[in-house]
Amino acid sequence: MEKDRYLTVGQFVSLLEKNIYEVGVGTVHVDYDILQQPGELIKRRTVAGIIHQVLLCRGEADEEHVEAALVLKDLYNCRTCVNHIAQVYTKGIMEEWDNGLFGVDENLTRNEAKELMRRVLDRQHRRKPGLSVSVEWTTLMWREAEVLLKADRRILLVDVRSKEAYRQGHRRGSINVPLSELFKNPYCVCADRSTVLFLYCQKGYMNRIAAGLLVKAGYQRVYVVV
């Protein structure tokens, strides 16, 4: 019986590619965009990033509503991994590691990796998390949002990117409330929870996570601008 052991980044990538080839999917060319070196033991945050990008390359669309992932207490511990973690968790590919934690810096074993391969390739093996509270928001296109912003100056346009990204360029009239700050305190955006909030970011996933946080916190008129 093969002894279970922790995998390096290179070993995990090789295992993933082998499984994809074996089911006849063909060569998948992925820019993994990871910070770890091939010889390092792979962290769960890195696993989430690799799997998410493989799913996109295979044509699997992102989940629009990722509020189920908001229960993960360490979701924002890795700022660049937020969407990767939210997607693989919401899709039921990677579950929480322990007691409401995703375990961003925990290592992955070979047996765990094999189970993840099954879930990547066969949706019937996935274990989607349930929702204790359903949170909803409205999606707007930029053209529609711009018309509404001109007509009503009371609408608050919120840029949820980092302070550095905001300084490099932002939408005129917007305020900057980074997603990291919303995680710590969703009420910092404004005191009046009936205020109309238009949220935007660069790629269109941070604002969805921010929307989930704000709706869950009691804000009643939250819009995601895409």
pLDDT given at position 167: 95
User: 182 to each of 10, 55, 153, 173, 186, how far by Cα in Å?
Assistant: 35, 28, 23, 20, 4
Cα-Cα-Cα-Cα torsion 9, 74, 86, 99, nearest 10 degrees, comes to 100
**pLDDT tens digits, one per residue of 47-101:** 999 999 899 988 999 987 787 888 888 888 777 788 899 999 999 999 999 989 9
User: 46 to each of 85, 129, 199, 208, how far by Cα in Å?
Assistant: 9, 21, 27, 22
**pLDDT tens digits, one per residue of 207-218:** 888 998 899 899
